[in-house]
Amino acid sequence: MPPTQKRTAVSLSTAAPSKKIKTGQALAIPEPTVVTSSSTTIITTTTTTSSTLKDRFIALLTQSEYASAGISNSTLKTYFPEDEYLQLVPIINELTATSRLVMSRTAKELHYTLVEDQVALQFHGLDPAARMVYQVIERTQTMGCWTKDIRLQTNIQQNALTKILKTLESRRLIKPVKSVTAKSKKLYMLYELQPSKELTGGVWYSNLEFDHEFISKLRYFLVQTCRKRPHTLQELHHELEQKEISNVALSLEDVRQLVQTLVLDYSLEEQEERMGQDDVLFGVPRKVSVPCEFTWWEAIEPDFGFRTVVFEDGVVLAPHEPHYQTA
């Protein structure tokens, strides 16, 4: 609530002495404004009337440096004299009871964070047990929290916990999610958050199932693109975006994972030439001729181990010498 203001017109000859402000008060004296009329010159000084302590407290918490992170108890003392600081106790209790204020404790001291009116309405009427469950889920962020872990941390019986979770869900404070590693179990996280890739599996999963068809389609496109000429990862990423092969957004790291699988399957290989220091070119593997004088069907004949084999690089395997097959 903005403080009320009044303007006091004082003659130049009868200007009142300025009022001193105690150190530590969150008050400021605005600059005087000169107004010239046809008959006389008047100085008007804007003075702020003493607003209520509650309004000043709320205004402090809405400042940008305290809106999200909150304000610590020690910092709060620097804005209010000792007598006013003691009068904040019933104000803090009132705001906490109406869910307008959240208190959290760090290793050293308390922090106070103001809650928006719309969010406060969602918390209005929740009992301490429900608030404790919400705080446990809030700490897990995008990883979510298993029902078993909530029960262990809050020591709430299963029947009561189930009722609390349904209440928080109905108010859109939390939501249930599932993990690709445990599809039959539920995790809970805050309603406005999105599950992490560790839970959803990222772009390679659809409805918690590994999407083989989608990945095969992308791999085929990458191989066909590199058949025309070698490409860098950035170029392959650009080609996927331009041709709209994927119906979900793929990051450069996603393309890197696809190319890596193709390299391990010998469908693509790194080229010796580079576009730059970090830009590796990827192309289809070159055909390699058989590096010896015999054909593959001769290798399965009974007397193959008793032959002298001469390779193109000059290596000779004498009869009875072990013949090792390499990939």
Which residue is it, tokens 């869900």?
169
Do 126-200 and 204-283 have matching folds?
yes
User: Tens digit of pLDDT per residue, the chain (327 long)?
Assistant: 444 444 444 333 344 444 443 434 443 434 444 444 443 333 333 333 335 898 999 899 888 888 888 898 889 999 998 888 888 989 988 888 887 888 877 777 888 888 887 777 777 788 888 888 988 998 888 999 999 999 999 999 999 999 999 999 998 899 999 888 888 888 999 998 988 888 888 888 888 888 899 999 999 999 999 999 999 999 999 999 988 888 888 999 999 999 999 998 888 988 876 655 567 889 888 765 545 555 555 555 566 556 676 766 677 766 655 555 444
In this structure, the number of other CB atoms found within 10 A of the CB of residue 2 comes to 8
What is the structure's pLDDT at 145?
92
Domain ranges of the chain: 5-107, 126-200, 204-283, 290-327
Kindly list the distances between the CA atom of residue 168 and the CA atoms of 2, 125, 139, 171, in Å, as whole numbers in the listed order: 34, 11, 16, 5
What is the structure's pLDDT at 306?
61
The CATH fold assigned to 204-283 is Arc Repressor Mutant, subunit A (1.10.10)
Length of the chain as a residue count: 327
Give me the phi and psi of 314, to 5 degrees please: 95, -5
* pTM of the complete model beyond 0.85: no
Dihedral in degrees, nearest 10, Cα atoms 126, 132, 133, 135: 110
What is the structure's pLDDT at 41?
37
What is the structure's pLDDT at 45?
34
Cα torsion 216, 219, 221, 224: sign: negative
The amino acid present at 77, given as its one-letter code, is K
Q: Which residues contact 126 (CB under 8 A, 6 or more apart)?
A: 99, 134, 167
Kindly list the distances between the CA atom of residue 214 and the CA atoms of 22, 172, 206, in Å, as whole numbers in the listed order: 69, 33, 9
The CATH fold assigned to 126-200 is Arc Repressor Mutant, subunit A (1.10.10)
